[in-house]
Structure 1
């Protein structure tokens, strides 16, 4: 495998800001013993989806539309995870380098339901265009990379919350907000549900199949599934931060400055880094008077440590105030900027990655082989590579039964995690996991024993583009060597 340049590894780049704070060291304080208790069963269902982020919403809608009785458990008061509450309102590429819309199905429906006023991005006829003028224009608006215009819109997060809720309700999903999974219910290596906490107390949900869309694999890790936690320290795929929005800006004026005054723009960036250290550039939003800041991205923190995440929240809030003062003083178009919103959800990119039956791996990029159990197609991170086949086996734990994973914690290596964690890929794996979970529940089989040909046929009928692999019988339960 050759060494990849940053441009080849990721199509959107940002500074990786090393932490400059010491880790909080808590001293052991002993233990307590909790008494045994009886936990009321809150609900029984075919499919339980844990986490209402982009993958969880897709999984719940897909499972319910496939005829399953579905419960979706979400800890916040809204759906969408980082795509809404995390203010990651830039939806990464859903087209490949030819302009083909490869992440489709529910992903396309989410965008279509948003409506014109809630989405900003290139028109469909320009997807895949290599026209220099168009690429230059859209590159400033996070929708052209390597000289190619892509389907990478920015969206109104409040409108997307509404779309998610509407689609979940229409599908007949039993939605539970303000509840947080705290323990799996498992017997002899098979997950049969989960325990959650809320203001109502501790309660249980029993299910034929559980879909873990918690973001960090909380359910499958607690149930004993193997996972990986290694990171690429030089890449943003593991960084943490809390995003924010500034309003009262003139983004057209800012982009004109960035495009036509390169020396002044470079001097501005240098001054910002010298003044603030960790410095972030704004990107466009769905409106010209709102700027999005998706950083600064902080390295060296753990998404699984409560003290670490608390520190990131403090440092991100401090950065927001410092950036506002600096931009108001020095950035064209930001003279009247004001704090609009700091994200209510922290932006954790990486915590755990499943050890699955199969895995999305860097070694397979060059060949572009189609997996026999393909359940989705991801655009590659560079025109140098063909599209990347996402196998069903990447959602299936190597040994643990009764559970599927979807979202940023599926089975993949660190290079592939750089794009498999993105929102469109979470929609892709969520739709596949939800459809498979419904199929398993209906057939009374384990997720690893689902008829993959049947799964692929159902996904195709849902508008998911799939390709025909070389003639072989796909089997999710046969682990990779």
Structure 2
């Protein structure tokens, strides 16, 4: 989910409000049932199986398909795009660094370039990096300027993004299987060799040479026994949950003028909302002037892997949608004729599990160092920090073979998760995982043995931005295994 962040004393805290939820978990019954052994039909066999069709999964499937791998993308919903579409996170966070240079490119650049006029809104390239106060203030109200700097952070039409994602996957040669929930890893001799999924046809299996876990919550790697972390920073929003929604029939320019010109009145409006409903959120701009986006209220204290918690958040969020409409229509300029347009089909999950990888991104890495196994470059969270080099080892489990884990559940600490979970970073890591999985399948290699030079050359060919600086000791790093062993224990 999109955020506005600020670094203080070397740690990251978010200006966006969080609200402590009232999680009342069902006590365990202590009882069990025994499931009889059964034969599971093999639904398909492929080189690369991607489980999860969110931003990371789509990018992975496209990359693997273009490399020539027989690729199958498994998705539980009826659309692709994950939280960027079904979760209504239509505000795509920063892809430029603080100088205005586009650093998240490759798949991300191509995908957004496919969206037609009217389906994407944001500052023009000439404005990226601008520190002009008036320009930055104008774009800040449109979620595209932070810390006084204009950034490439567009808002997009979710339906157009769904279609663009589907067409890119199919054009790559990859196949899609909708309405199929990846349930369990298929294990052979301690390695992942496919996945079992649930569907209307029942329980079925897919065999694959390499699996990309793009579930976002690490469902497959956790069930395969890979180590993971789940700690959070309670001062950040990265662990909060909510269901987003859209209001139609609004006049966002009028609302934004009111916010800018009458900040005291806006502050009083927000305070009255908190007093009435406790949980209350401001409206964000969308890709249209007549549609308002709500990315909260953000509820903390719930688990993204607890079905009772997920249910409680859905119930609370839908009630809050109606309460917000009542308050906004009564008091907010531009909302008199607003109506409930859409609640997100997918719940907004920011954090569940993080892989314990062979490599990782840590707070100590925010110093401009270039990782020898770099697969992409992420903008940092504030102008005081340089860009962050993202290593391939962050996608590779410490010991488990046959699986890569791009997206918001990659290996990192809780501070770094604050930005690595964002949609552009999921595109970045997904593209790298898909290409690496295709190389591994083609060459019959373990995913940790993929030659880094070959992977990086392939990423550059697809337009991915990698650091120009030569990493220290790079000549000794010839494969992922050597990169990983050199970074263990950091």
Q: Provide Cα deviations, 1:357-410, integer angstroms capped at 9, x if missing partner.
A: 110110111x21000000000000000000000000000000000000010000
Q: Which residue of 1 aligns with 2:364?
A: 363
Q: Structure 2: where are the runs of 5+ without partners?
A: 1-5
Q: For 1:228-377, what aligned pairs fall within 5 Å after superposition?
A: 228-365=229-366, 367-377=367-377
Q: Structure 1: where are the runs of 5+ without partners?
A: none
The worse-fitting range, judged by mean Cα deviation, of 265-274 and 22-31 is 22-31
The worse-fitting range, judged by mean Cα deviation, of 268-277 and 173-182 is 268-277
Q: For 1:203-222, what aligned pairs fall within 5 Å after superposition?
A: 203-222=204-223
Q: TM-score, normalised by structure 1?
A: 0.97
C-alpha contact (below 8 Å) 1:95/1:102 kept by paired residues: yes
Q: Distance in 2 between matches of 1:102 and 1:412?
A: 20
**Displacement of 1:433:** 0.2
**Displacement of 1:188:** 2.7
Q: For 1:32-181, what aligned pairs fall within 5 Å after superposition?
A: 32-181=33-182
- Structure 1 residues 7, 330: CA separation in 2 closer, same or farther (over 3 Å shift)? farther
**Displacement of 1:130:** 1.0
**Displacement of 1:6:** 9.2
SS in 1 for 2:480: coil
**Displacement of 1:8:** 6.7
Q: Distance in 2 between matches of 1:120 and 1:177?
A: 29
Q: Distance in 1 between matches of 2:78 and 2:359?
A: 34
C-alpha contact (below 8 Å) 1:9/1:382 kept by paired residues: no
SS in 2 for 1:114: coil
Q: Which residue of 1 aligns with 2:480?
A: 476
**Displacement of 1:274:** 1.4
Task: Determine whether 1:381 maps to 2:353.
Answer: no
- Structure 1 residues 377, 161: CA separation in 2 closer, same or farther (over 3 Å shift)? same
Q: Which residue of 1 aligns with 2:414?
A: 414
SS in 2 for 1:237: coil
Q: Which residue of 2 aligns with 1:18?
A: 20
**Displacement of 1:23:** 1.1
Q: Distance in 2 between matches of 1:332 and 1:437?
A: 51
Q: Which residue of 2 aligns with 1:5?
A: 8
Q: Distance in 2 between matches of 1:192 and 1:370?
A: 33
Task: Determine whether 1:426 maps to 2:429.
Answer: no
C-alpha contact (below 8 Å) 2:23/2:312 kept by paired residues: no
Q: Distance in 2 between matches of 1:215 and 1:324?
A: 31
**Displacement of 1:79:** 0.3
- Structure 1 residues 117, 4: CA separation in 2 closer, same or farther (over 3 Å shift)? closer
SS in 1 for 2:238: helix
SS in 1 for 2:208: strand
Q: Distance in 1 between matches of 2:25 and 2:410?
A: 30
Q: Distance in 2 between matches of 1:193 and 1:22?
A: 35
Q: Considering only aligned residues, what root-mean-square deviation do their CA atoms show, in Å?
A: 1.3
Q: Which residue of 2 aligns with 1:452?
A: 452
Q: Distance in 2 between matches of 1:204 and 1:372?
A: 37
Q: Distance in 2 between matches of 1:330 and 1:239?
A: 28
Q: Distance in 1 between matches of 2:458 and 2:170?
A: 21
**Displacement of 1:182:** 1.2
Q: Provide Cα deviations, 1:49-98, integer angstroms capped at 9, x if missing partner.
A: 00000000000000000111000000000000000000000000000001
C-alpha contact (below 8 Å) 1:440/1:450 kept by paired residues: yes
Instruction: Count the aligned residue pairs.
Output: 476
Task: Determine whether 1:398 maps to 2:401.
Answer: no
Q: Distance in 1 between matches of 2:473 and 2:357?
A: 23
C-alpha contact (below 8 Å) 1:283/1:291 kept by paired residues: yes
The worse-fitting range, judged by mean Cα deviation, of 128-137 and 63-72 is 128-137
Q: Provide Cα deviations, 1:257-305, integer angstroms capped at 9, x if missing partner.
A: 0001111111111111111111100100000000000000000000000
SS in 2 for 1:45: strand
**Displacement of 1:13:** 3.3
**Displacement of 1:470:** 2.5
Q: Distance in 2 between matches of 1:73 and 1:303?
A: 20
Q: Distance in 2 between matches of 1:190 and 1:45?
A: 16
SS in 2 for 1:116: coil
SS in 2 for 1:37: coil
Q: Distance in 2 between matches of 1:471 and 1:224?
A: 33
Q: Which residue of 2 aligns with 1:464?
A: 464
**Displacement of 1:22:** 4.4
Q: Distance in 1 between matches of 2:391 and 2:128?
A: 26
Q: Distance in 2 between matches of 1:208 and 1:323?
A: 49
Q: Distance in 1 between matches of 2:221 and 2:359?
A: 16
- Structure 1 residues 222, 425: CA separation in 2 closer, same or farther (over 3 Å shift)? same
Q: Distance in 2 between matches of 1:151 and 1:13?
A: 20
Q: TM-score, normalised by structure 2?
A: 0.95
**Displacement of 1:25:** 2.2
Q: Distance in 2 between matches of 1:453 and 1:464?
A: 14
C-alpha contact (below 8 Å) 2:11/2:415 kept by paired residues: no
Q: Distance in 1 between matches of 2:183 and 2:272?
A: 46
